[in-house]
Amino acid sequence: MSNELNLYARPLVNVVVATRDRPELLDQTLKAIAIQDYDGPIEVAVVYDQTEPDHGIEVSDGPRQVKVMRNERTPGLQGARNTGLTHTDGEFVAFCDDDDIWKEHKVTSQVDLFDADRSCLMASSGIHVVFEGQRLPRIPTKDRVTFADLINSRMFESTHPSTFIMRRSLIDDMGMVDEEVPGGYGEDYEFVLRAARRTDIGAVPEALVEVLWHQASFYAERWQMRIEGLQYLLDGYPEFNDDKEGLARIKGQMAFAYGALGQRGDAVKTAAETLKLDPKQKRAYLALAMAAGVVTPDFLVAKIQRQGRSI
């Protein structure tokens, strides 16, 4: 597409879409990208992870092109996204999950933000969480998200990966997605923390993406993976130790996972550490309830998801 770039008013935006065995959902995602009202070229890299690529969806002409490739790096979302990053070269790069849908003006709104502030290196937006027939808005309350904000809170309303658009220069500086995150749990959070160490993240105060949530079904290995991923974050970001609420949030998630695993001693110990840091941290109380056998993890996860929130 590089020979055609001078035909367009605005710069090339690359979109990396990692996918695995969800052709119907992927089709919806690609259609939403294709109808963007952005007055510039958009090139999508669809990366098939651990599944056979469908080259029949490729589009090689016009302002909305689609390239198909196989994940050539670590199996999983991290390697798939990085494969896409290595095969793109536009001024801007974006992520979109294969079951999420962009609003028609998503790219335009965010590139407008970059144009208004040349120092901005990364932009996000709000989302609508779609779950069991409900559309639950999560709208940013700040137009700039800082590293300190993200240590204190996950800022889910401002930092879902399907909302991210970044200048290529930021990726060149900070590196790609961390493929060492255990089991891939928390890789999105690690990525945005690493970005925010370098630049504030501009947030469009509007739900520009519909995020489809599926009913969670956690097996023991996935809860253990959460614990390992959260510990990886604590080891990599010592700044959590300077923010009691932020550290309590992570510890509370770990306590919840221990409770879900039925590891009562670890659940009670970690919940106690959490409440010492922040007596208001609800995850600790839920962990204690599971440890006492009062409630099951599946019940709690479903109830939390229906509120458009996650553990």
For the stretch 18-37, pLDDT in tens is 999 999 999 999 999 999 99
For residue 61, give the CATH number of its domain.
3.90.550.10
- Tokens of residue 140, six digits: 């940013």
pLDDT in tens, 182-240: 988 899 999 999 999 999 999 999 999 999 887 544 445 589 999 999 999 999 999 99
pLDDT of residue 221: 58
67: in domain: yes
154 shares a domain with 57: yes
Single out the residue of 299, 293, 308, 301 nearest to residue 262, CA to CA.
Answer: 293
- Contact status, residue 71 vs residue 48, Cβ threshold 8 Å: yes
When pLDDT is averaged across residues 169-175 and rounded to a whole number, the result is 97
Is pLDDT above 60 for 294?
Answer: yes
Query: pLDDT grade, residue 132 (50/70/90)?
Result: confident
pLDDT in tens, 102-117: 999 999 999 999 999 9
Angular region, 258: left φ>0, alpha ψ -120 to 50, beta rest: alpha
- Contact status, residue 146 vs residue 122, Cβ threshold 8 Å: no
- Sole residue written with tokens 């690529």: 53
The separation between CA 54 and the C-alpha centre of its own chain, rounded to angstroms, equals 25
- Contact status, residue 57 vs residue 98, Cβ threshold 8 Å: no
When pLDDT is averaged across residues 164-188 and rounded to a whole number, the result is 95
Q: How far apart are CA 117 and CA 114, in angstroms?
A: 5
Is pLDDT above 80 for 307?
Answer: no
- The answer for residues whose C-beta is within 8 angstroms of residue 143's C-beta and 6 or more apart is 202, 203, 205
Q: How many domains does the chain have?
A: 2
Is pLDDT above 50 for 2?
Answer: no
| Residues spanned by the domain of 242 | 220-305
Instruction: Count CA atoms closer than 13 A to 50's CA, side-chain side.
Output: 7
When pLDDT is averaged across residues 69-89 and rounded to a whole number, the result is 96
Query: pLDDT grade, residue 8 (50/70/90)?
Result: confident
pLDDT above 70 as % of the chain:
96
84 shares a domain with 54: yes
pLDDT of residue 217: 43
pLDDT of residue 300: 87
Where do runs of H (alpha helix) occur along the chain? 23-34, 77-86, 106-116, 147-152, 168-174, 187-196, 220-236, 244-261, 264-277, 282-291, 297-305
Burial class (CB in 10 A: 0-12, 13-18, 19+), 166: buried
pLDDT of residue 220: 54
User: How many residues does this entry show for the chain?
Assistant: 311
pLDDT of residue 218: 42
199 shares a domain with 295: no
Is pLDDT above 50 for 3?
Answer: no
88 shares a domain with 64: yes
**For helices 244-261 and 264-277, angle between their N-to-C axes, nearest 10 degrees:** 160
- Tokens of residue 73, six digits: 């790096």
69 shares a domain with 15: yes
pLDDT in tens, 34-58: 999 999 999 999 999 999 999 999 9
Q: Please state, as a whole number, how many other Cβ atoms lie within 10 Å of the Cβ of residue 74.
A: 16
Single residue among 157, 188, 212 that ends a domain in this structure: 212
- Tokens of residue 138, six digits: 């999560």
